[in-house]
Structure 1
Amino acid sequence: MPSLDVNNFDRIRIGLASPEQIRAWSSGEVKKPETINYRTLKPEREGLFCEKIFGPTKDWECHCGKYKRVRYRGIVCDRCGVEVTRAKVRRERMGHIELAAPVSHIWFFKGIPSRMGLLLDMSPRALEKVLYFAAYIVTDPGDTPLAKKQLLTEAEYREYREKYGNAFKAGMGAEAIKKLLEEIDLDQLCAELRREVRESTGQRRGRGVGRPGGGGGVRESGNPPVPGSYTPLPAPETRGK
């Protein structure tokens, strides 16, 4: 296999990283927002500078000082869990942050065209209301007269909840959008839209032309149809220089 020359290439392709890929890249989960302990001036464990996750801050020395010098290369300290190696690995290693709730990347709902909007057949304005917690969206109407993906104000949501109880499901934020995206069958959606483009005319045909591209692009990426919705976030070591 020929060696890769990173300084000589014709083009570059950027794709979506799946949650599984992000976790596979990670050397550990960042659980604290702290960086340096103000008393010891050493990185906080499980923080944004954590040596166990990103590597030692000093060459060939673990966090607690039990192992020092190059002769201990590759040893993982049984006391602090830090690998004895060069400090430059901190430039390469990544951690990850597990979010309590999904977030949506602005590129995918505010881009032109809106990828999320194409997949869900929703306007960017409607998506924005849901993602910024200004409106509820119906994810499962149940046996009620509500429609799937119908937007509800706070007052309407309370009114319908009092009237129908738990007979329907509605939510807001990226979690509700993620649920709707996960229900999409991309193969079926693309087939239906191509048929619609062939058989329709006028505005309906124009709307259908753009949507297969959104669905096909996500399908070709090999990821689930949840573009820009993240639960784990990649976290490179915070650099002060």
Structure 2
Amino acid sequence: WYIKGLPSYLAIILDMRPKDIEQVVYYNSYIVINIKNKKLKLSNGRLIEERSLLNEKEWEELEDKIYLKDSELESHENNETYGDILDPEIDAEKAIEIEIGIGAEAIKKLLTNLNLDIEEEKLRKSISYIDDQLELAKAIRRLRLLQNLISSQTNPAWTVLEVLPVLPPDLRPMIQLDGGRFASSDLNDLYRKVIHRNNRLVKLQEILAPE
């Protein structure tokens, strides 16, 4: 419900569109979790930043870039020509340090990496420079949510569940049928669907199936 709920608290916390979060969760798009190289661009000129979304073709292009850059650095490191002295700072600039993920796991990593105190301070300072009223209202809403999370010591990563809580039969809602009979809710079927889909996803990941 954190994805489908209105307002989307995940989208507010991460400063993303709800639609983009759904694309990542449903394995339709990759997302940049962390990036050190601030000048990395795709062939279409788009700058790659943290939380940028990538389709399959763009991800393959980045893979090729990373492979070529790693090959260049490895070749340079293996060069034993007299007088060739490696400069760690230059090599660090050439390297492509990037982490890309997909699915709910990627969203949880973004939430885990989020420093609420730093985000709150940056947002509080930037609000005075926002002229657009819609953008200002959006920023204030995000600021209040971040402040609430900080004051309550709530980790936003907790919104992504790794363990599915199961209600015991005694607590499940009862439905009254015709004739005065009662039947328990079909929550068991919902749990079964989640288990089947999760098992299918694990198998697809094991065989490296296309997303």
> TM-score by structure 1 length?
0.50
What residue in structure 2 maps to residue 125 of structure 1? 19
Equivalent residue, structure 1, for 2:120: 190
CA distance in 1, matches of 2:35, 2:159: 25
Match of 2:107 among 155, 166, 177: 177
1:157 is aligned to 59
Deviation at 1:152, TM superposition (A): 0.5
Q: How many residues align?
A: 135
> 1:1-42: CA deviations, max 9, x gaps?
xxxxxxxxxxxxxxxxxxxxxxxxxxxxxxxxxxxxxxxxxx
Gaps of 5+ in 1: 1-106
Q: Greater share of strand residues, 1 or 2?
A: 1
Letter in 1 for 2:152: S
Which digits, 9 at most, give the CA deviation of each residue in 1:20-75, with x for residues without a partner? xxxxxxxxxxxxxxxxxxxxxxxxxxxxxxxxxxxxxxxxxxxxxxxxxxxxxxxx
Q: Is the 8 A contact 1:140 1:170 kept in 2?
A: yes
Paired with 1:127 and 1:171, the residues of 2 have a C-alpha distance of: 12
- TM-score under structure 2 length normalisation: 0.57
Higher helix share: 2
Q: Which residue number corresponds to residue 5 of structure 2?
A: 111
- Secondary structure, in 3 states, of the residue corresponding to 1:140? strand
**In structure 1, what residue type is equivalent to 2:10?**
M
Partners in 1 of 2:153 and 2:24 — Cα distance?
27
- 2:29: which partner in 1? 135
Residues in 2 aligned to 1:216 and 1:178: alpha-carbon distance in whole angstroms: 20
Kept in 2: contact 1:117–1:123 (CA 8 A): yes
* Rounded Cα–Cα distance in structure 2 between residues aligned with 1:236 and 1:124: 29
More displaced 10-residue stretch of structure 1: 184-193 or 197-206: 197-206
Aligned residue in 2 for 1:148:
50
- C-alpha separation between the residues in 1 aligned to 2:129 and 2:56? 39
Rate the CA distance shift 1:193–1:142 in 2: closer, same or farther, 3 A: closer
Question: What is the CA-CA distance between 1:220 and the residue it aligns to?
Answer: 3.4
Matched residues in 2 for 1:187 and 1:140: separation?
Answer: 18
Given residue 159 of structure 2, which amino acid in structure 1 is its aligned partner? Answer: G
Aligned-pair CA distance for 1:172 = 0.7
Q: CA deviation at 1:200?
A: 2.3
The residue type paired with residue 9 of structure 2 is R
- Give the CA deviation at 1:199: 3.4
